Amino acid sequence: MTTPSTAAAALKMEKADLPDWKLAYRLDEAAAATGIGRSTLYRRARQGKLKMKRDGGNTVILREELKRFLSELPDAEIRQGESH
């Protein structure tokens, strides 16, 4: 029997395996693929750091824009003894 939590986990895993041929990602797909939450993606768009496209009720992020955004994030500084 599939419980709601295992079904949600399976759906999240499925969305994380996005095909390279996709030209754009819905917000839930972009969040699953990057590990960055939807609200953070929206916040970055409001800050002008990430461009989103809209067609009617659909909001998407173009694949090249998502790659650009990720490549411009600062490198993480991991100090000895830190674990996350």
- HEC profile for the chain? CCCHHHHHHHHHHHHHCCCCCCCEEEHHHHHHHHCCCHHHHHHHHHCCCCCCEEECCEEEEEHHHHHHHHHCCCCCCCCCCCCC
Residue 74 or 7, more confident: 74
Name the CATH topology of 14-71: Multidrug-efflux Transporter Regulator; Chain: A; Domain 2 (1.10.1660)
pLDDT of residue 79: 86
| For range 57-73, the mean pLDDT | 94
pLDDT of 1 over the 90 cut: no
Domain ranges of the chain: 14-71
For residue range 7-59, list pLDDT tens digits in order.
Answer: 444 444 444 456 678 999 999 999 999 999 999 999 999 999 999 999 999 99
